[in-house]
Structure 1
Amino acid sequence: MGGILFTCLIAFLGILLAQLPVLRHIGPLAVAIIIAVVYRQLFGFPVHMQEGIQFASKKLLRVAIILFGLKLPLDVVFQEGLGLLARSAFTILFAVSLTMLFAKWWKANWTMSMLLAVGTGVCGAAAIAAVSPILKANEEDTALSVGIIALVGTIFGIGYTILLPVLPIDSVTYGYWSGLSLHEIAHVALAAAPAGEEALGMALLAKLTRVLLLIPLCFILVAWMRRKNGNAEEKAHVEFPWFLLGFIVMSFIGSYVLGKRVDVPQQALDAISFLTTFLLAMAMSGLGLNVDMNKIGSKTTRPLLAMLLTSVMLSIVTLWML
């Protein structure tokens, strides 16, 4: 419970400080995650609050994404979903192939490079957690990979918000770009939120198509590992991203029920919108508290460089595609 309250406090501070002129541009989500990262580096990780912090960074994030479905018209999902699915497949293929190519050239740690490749291409820490048992990664490699993804994704997310005013694209295209190229769902929300609700909705839709592709990717990796190890008996559990279905259900309710069959006061819709932002800020806080810069040492240097260069090229290529 203490960890949840702690992330709640950081989220409140992030939303409050984001009202200042200097910080208004990057928004409350970025401010919240910056506060959390700085706290972790200065005071360390509050171990006694670990359970609540992890709950905020994982469970509350998914609740917020589900709630955001109310703001996204379902007809947009049907119109844009298939095209984005193809682009998302390209993103994953590009990220994994390029990262592993760089890793081979630089003789980087294979397991960590693959974890970072999948995390970059699909959905950050969630993807790393899903493929870690399939790749037989040890806890240290998994933890370091999650930390790197959180750190690099945070830098890129904030960098996107800085570039937003000077990019020669409209807000919706910017949302697509964010959703197709950034690492975590939280990073996508961080980058897209300053561009407005429509941009954020498109960004989350693009990102969720990448999340959906985690399932076939995991099965491909299972088959590949079986062939590599020659062990046909080996099995791996793949968890379906159920919050994706919740997002679609809420989109249906927002599109065809609220305001059409059921009258809902605007104040109630505004309250849900604020709650969604607040939950996202809490998730950012939990994510930021998990970033430990001291653990990024010599073992991670080459995989980090491979993943970092891939992330830069992925941003350029996906922007060019749009």
Structure 2
Amino acid sequence: METVEQQKMKSFPMIGGVGFTFLIAVIGWGLAQLPGFAKLGPMALAIIIAIIYRQIWDYPISISRGIQFSAKMILRFAIVLYGLRLNIQLIIQDGLGLLAIDGFVIIFAIGITVLIAKKMNANPSISLLVGIGTGVCGAAAIAAVSPILKTKDEDTAISVGLIALIGTVFALLYSFLFPFLPIDAESYGIWSGISLHELAHVALAAGVAGQDALAIGLLAKLGRVFLLIPLSFTLLYLEKRKGENNEKAKITFPWFLIGFVVMSIIGSYITTYNPMGTASLLDPIADISSFLLTMAMVGLGLNIHLQQVRKKALKPLATLVITSILLSIVTIGITKLL
């Protein structure tokens, strides 16, 4: 039977890691109150601090469980809460159209990545993974399809690192470019949602344009997350046809998508009918969700190790950058047509 001390030792990696992401998030929010930093925003500041920390002091292994909890579980909880800020009318008007665009984005990203990788003689396994990560939902998509594609653990880890690195760079770049782009806030949110790599990257970039832009951006991104399911089954079917995979791969359903939709319905009711002035309750919930997203992005930033791009990852990295640029150009053209 475990002693109290043993139980404390087991819980420390979780509590310590979550607390560490909380601390850096607080620093980011604090810096955002200072002149000159406010425009960049607390989420961007926090993730920059996390990346710098990782490169100087390396990854804090002893509290890694808590850091990963922030990067994955807290992120999903924050996304669910953000559903309260989404008016259901946006789903009715734009949801199906966005889903069709999301499907195009996935096909385009994977196809272009594979094509460029062949031309550059890049590592095919890593290139395919980053193509899927770019088109769908970053590290989550890579983690879902890796068992199906039977990729090496090293290739999977490198792919996740590349997606985290380039996705963060593009999210920050989007944030800087927003004031100079010839599109309105809603279109910018859609552009972020249909072109950026991770949910956290969409939240980081779209957040600078306001709550409505963030909400529609997350809706567009969650459509890509949802399409991970048919994509995974398609890959499983193709692998079985090739005779390279005779086992069923477990595909995790993104349940937080359901939570996001449910919360959007609740938020839509509150916003539309405003019973007893309860719409004012959404503001503090939005603040809490924003802070939780900041903690999640700290966890993401701590996973970025610049040394991972060396050797076998250099060509896939170049492929990923080219694909991301092309995807950004094509999708901003699409948003201007909507």
Coarse TM-score class (shorter-chain normalised): over 0.9
CA distance in 1, matches of 2:209, 2:273: 27
CA distance in 2, matches of 1:301, 1:146: 14
For the 8 Å contact 1:258–1:264, the answer to whether it is kept is: no
CA distance in 1, matches of 2:130, 2:328: 16
Cα deviation for residue 199 of structure 1 reads 0.7
Cα deviation for residue 257 of structure 1 reads 4.8
CA distance in 2, matches of 1:59, 1:257: 26
Cα deviation for residue 64 of structure 1 reads 0.5
217, 221, 228: which one pairs with 1:214?
Answer: 228
Letter in 2 for 1:105: K
* Residues 1:89 and 2:103 are matched in the alignment: yes
Q: 1:287: which partner in 2?
A: 300
SS of the equivalent of 1:240 reads coil
Matches within 5 A, 1:175-186: 175-186=189-200
* Residues 1:30 and 2:44 are matched in the alignment: yes
TM-score of the aligned structures, taking structure 1 as reference length: 0.97
Letter in 2 for 1:308: V
CA distance in 1, matches of 2:230, 2:279: 40
Q: 1:114: which partner in 2?
A: 128
For the 8 Å contact 1:7–1:282, the answer to whether it is kept is: yes
SS of the equivalent of 2:256 reads helix
Q: 1:8: which partner in 2?
A: 22
SS of the equivalent of 2:37 reads helix
171, 179, 204: which one pairs with 1:157?
Answer: 171
* Residues 1:296 and 2:296 are matched in the alignment: no
Cα deviation for residue 21 of structure 1 reads 2.7
Indicate how the Cα distance of structure 1 residues 308 and 39 shifts in structure 2: closer, same or farther if over 3 A, else same: same
CA distance in 2, matches of 1:221, 1:259: 42
* Residues 1:307 and 2:320 are matched in the alignment: yes
Q: 1:254: which partner in 2?
A: 267
Letter in 2 for 1:297: R
SS of the equivalent of 2:276 reads coil
CA distance in 2, matches of 1:90, 1:259: 33
* Structure 1 residues 108-153: Cα deviation after superposition (integer angstroms, max 9, x where no partner): 1111111100000000000010011111111111111111111100
Indicate how the Cα distance of structure 1 residues 261 and 156 shifts in structure 2: closer, same or farther if over 3 A, else same: closer
Q: 2:238: which partner in 1?
A: 224
CA distance in 2, matches of 1:93, 1:75: 28
Letter in 2 for 1:43: W
Cα deviation for residue 263 of structure 1 reads 3.5
Q: 1:239: which partner in 2?
A: 252
Cα deviation for residue 216 of structure 1 reads 0.4
Q: 2:12: which partner in 1?
A: none
* Structure 1 residues 150-203: Cα deviation after superposition (integer angstroms, max 9, x where no partner): 110010000001111110110000000000100000000100111111111111
Matches within 5 A, 1:39-118: 39-118=53-132
* Structure 1 residues 52-99: Cα deviation after superposition (integer angstroms, max 9, x where no partner): 000000000000000000000112112211000110001000000000
Cα deviation for residue 258 of structure 1 reads 6.7
Letter in 2 for 1:155: V
SS of the equivalent of 1:168 reads coil
Letter in 2 for 1:127: A
Letter in 2 for 1:59: M
TM-score of the aligned structures, taking structure 2 as reference length: 0.92
Cα deviation for residue 277 of structure 1 reads 0.6
The number of residue pairs the alignment matches comes to 321
Letter in 2 for 1:156: F
Gaps of 5+ in 2: 1-14
Q: 2:285: which partner in 1?
A: 272
Cα deviation for residue 269 of structure 1 reads 2.6
Q: 2:10: which partner in 1?
A: none
Letter in 2 for 1:81: G
For the 8 Å contact 1:25–1:161, the answer to whether it is kept is: no
Cα deviation for residue 270 of structure 1 reads 2.3
Gaps of 5+ in 1: none
Matches within 5 A, 1:190-209: 190-209=204-223
